[in-house]
């Protein structure tokens, strides 16, 4: 079993490839602002997707809101606001989660768009 960081790194690579295939342009990876880190900032037309990548070796995720805590969301929102203002982007911001499940059975990618609306 790959260690947690390697699995996360691999998951992020897969998420980037997945987004590019969907027509997104990757602006930033591991964008940091204050205490927040956004895994991927990707743009498609006038949508800026702030993507949190979650890689697991089991399909037992539970709900997206169980693995992104309210406090983390507030930090992500601040970070993305800062990025948008800093770069004077005219975009609509969306928060997505890309859930990747990798195990002996293979790899499954789920893209949850507007993931934080579920709160």
CATH number of 62's domain: 3.40.1350.10
Give the integer Cα–Cα distance in Å for 62 and 65: 8
Q: Which residue has the higher pLDDT, 25 or 103?
A: 25
Residues with Cβ < 8 Å from 99, sequence gap 6 or more?
54, 56, 61, 64, 109, 110, 111, 112
Beta bridge partners of 50: 41, 95
How many CB atoms are located within 10 Å of the residue 13 CB? 13
Percentage of the residues of the chain whose pLDDT score is greater than 70: 87
What is the average pLDDT score of the chain? 87
Domain that holds residue 15: 4-118
Are 116 and 98 a contacting pair, CB within 8 Å?
no
Q: Is the pLDDT of residue 62 over 70?
A: no
- How many domains does the chain contain in total? 1
Q: Is the pLDDT of residue 115 over 90?
A: no
Give the integer Cα–Cα distance in Å for 82 and 76: 10
Q: What would the pLDDT profile of 34-55 be if each residue is shown by its tens digit? A: 999 999 999 999 999 999 998 8
pTM of the model: 0.87
């Amino acid at each position: 079993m790959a260690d947690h960081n390697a699995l996360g790194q691999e998951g992020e690579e897969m998420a980037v490839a997945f987004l590019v295939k969907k027509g997104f342009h990757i602006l930033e990876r591991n964008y940091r602002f204050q205490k927040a880190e956004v895994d991927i900032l990707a743009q498609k037309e006038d949508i800026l997707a702030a993507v949190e990548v979650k890689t697991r070796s089991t399909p037992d995720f539970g709900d997206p809101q169980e693995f992104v805590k309210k406090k983390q969301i507030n930090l992500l929102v601040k970070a993305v606001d800062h990025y948008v203002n800093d770069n004077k982007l005219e975009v609509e911001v969306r928060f997505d989660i890309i859930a990747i499940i990798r195990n002996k059975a293979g790899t499954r990618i789920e893209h949850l768009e507007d993931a934080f609306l579920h709160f």
